[in-house]
Amino acid sequence: MNHFLFLSRSNPFQSNGASANRTRGLVEGLISQGAAIDFYICAPFFSSKEKSNFINNQVTSQGKLNLIQLSSKVFESSLFHRVYSFFSYPVSKFLFAPKLDKILSDFNGVVFINPDYFLMKSLHQLKKKNPNLKIVCEVSEYLDYYKSQEVPRWLLPQLVRTERFFVKEFVHNLSGCVLMTKALYRFFEDMNLPNCQLLHLPMTVDLSRFVNVKSSSLCFIKPYILFIGVMSNAKDGIDILIEAFNENAQKYPDYRLFLVGPWQYDTPGHLKRISELGLEQRVFWINEVHRDEIPALLMEANLLVLPRPDSKQAQGGFPTKLGEYLASGKPVCATSVGELPEYLTDGESVFFAEPGSIPSFADAIDRALGNYQAAIAIGENGKKIAEKSFNKDIQSQSLYNFLIDLHRNNQCQNNL
């Protein structure tokens, strides 16, 4: 049995964000291929409920997944949350660095991470002690997107620090890099890393989540248009979505718009604009919902929307939520950013709009709702694209083979 080790700063089996869904899907896919995984979470618990859920996951998880949280501490209060957010690196170094040293000092195999600053710094030091470590990092967007895109002031230092350390130091420790888009693949090819193998691994979706789905317990008022993701203007264009919905509000008076996702720094502005437009009974911010509710909410919606603006983040990345949108079989309105047009065709598998354009996105919504029978067929075509190009089972086999090759190469080098 092939054994891999994953390190993460959060529990993907607890969260329902895009990154968590991606990691969880890959882990479950690797296990289905026959891998055994030790998954170490380098974070405290942030509520008693989270700790209780984690214990339940440990009991019910598959035998080939060993889920380990490296701290049993519960940071329940908002004060602890803020302390951890602003002093994450020193707190993590104190709590987790000695434990990682013990786990990895003699480990002879593949370690899989995301580009988190603490994990990179720790593995950078451990690689000096244990050159047998084969470090694989997944990169899903350009790490320097902050240079051309507005980001929160409090977040900027973390992004700068992470990107600079990755490029100047950490990338030379890598044995493999898993890249979500072809643009990222070309970027890493140009870096000329002789000891680092590259794998293009497109966005993945777990199609089984959309089979035999029970009705949602949240009972959104139908008919409705749905967005699920980050309540951010710069990343996902929520401001454009609200205005585009308003353009169609009178023409489609029965429709409501539901925005599902946790509070962001743009959220107060969204709520203010909804009030100014008199849409309080038509547009609703729902906050985050449990992961298990997502498939039903998507499949009960009439239209799914993703108004992502054009940005360096969009050019290098690929929206994970789009995979779930398509897998639901419902019509999708999206902007033609990044590599989306390489997979989807306007009027055949998606309703495309120009990025950053309110009139264009309003028109995409109108085209979908104005001839809904045709839109249903387009939604089904989008589902076929997801089954062909973003199938978790197909992509996880590619990742499994990639990791196996690295592991075998490591064993051959050790036997020389």
The domain spanning residue 338 has which CATH number?
A: 3.40.50.2000
Pairing verdict, β 283-287 and 303-306 = unpaired
Residues 167 and 253 in one domain: no
Residues 189 and 258 in one domain: no
Q: What is the pLDDT of residue 413?
A: 53
Residues 378 and 411 in one domain: no
Residues 14 and 76 in one domain: yes
Q: How far apart are the first and last CA of the chain?
A: 23
Residues 155 and 252 in one domain: no
The predicted model gives 110-127 an average pLDDT of: 96
Residues 216 and 197 in one domain: no
Q: What is the pLDDT of residue 411?
A: 55
- Going by C-beta distance under 8 Å and a sequence separation of 6 or more, which residues neighbour residue 29? 204, 392, 393, 395, 396, 397, 399, 400
Per-residue pLDDT for 55 more than 70? no
- In this structure, of 171-175, 310-314, 405-409, the range with the lowest mean pLDDT score is 405-409
- Going by C-beta distance under 8 Å and a sequence separation of 6 or more, which residues neighbour residue 67? 11, 13, 39, 41, 54, 57, 58, 61
Per-residue pLDDT for 414 more than 90? no
Domain that holds residue 58: 3-204+392-415
The predicted model gives 208-228 an average pLDDT of: 94
Residues 258 and 349 in one domain: yes
- In this structure, of 113-122, 246-255, 288-297, 303-312, the range with the lowest mean pLDDT score is 288-297
Q: Smallest Cα–Cα separation from 182: which of 174, 194, 190, 172? A: 190
Q: What is the pLDDT of residue 408?
A: 80
Tally of domains in the chain: 2
- Mean of the per-residue pLDDT values of the chain: 91
Residues 293 and 353 in one domain: yes
The predicted model gives 108-122 an average pLDDT of: 95
Residues 302 and 369 in one domain: yes
For helices 358-370 and 372-389, give the axis angle rounded to 10 degrees: 110
Per-residue pLDDT for 60 more than 50? no
pLDDT tens digit sequence for 233-251: 999 999 999 999 999 999 9
Residues 227 and 141 in one domain: no
- In this structure, of 166-170, 270-274, 310-314, 367-371, the range with the lowest mean pLDDT score is 310-314
Residues 198 and 318 in one domain: no
Residues 200 and 262 in one domain: no
Per-residue pLDDT for 63 more than 90? no
How much of the chain exceeds pLDDT 90, in percent? 72
Q: How confident is the model at residue 415 (pLDDT cuts 50, 70, 90)?
A: very low
How much of the chain exceeds pLDDT 70, in percent? 94
The predicted model gives 394-402 an average pLDDT of: 93
Q: What is the pLDDT of residue 87?
A: 74
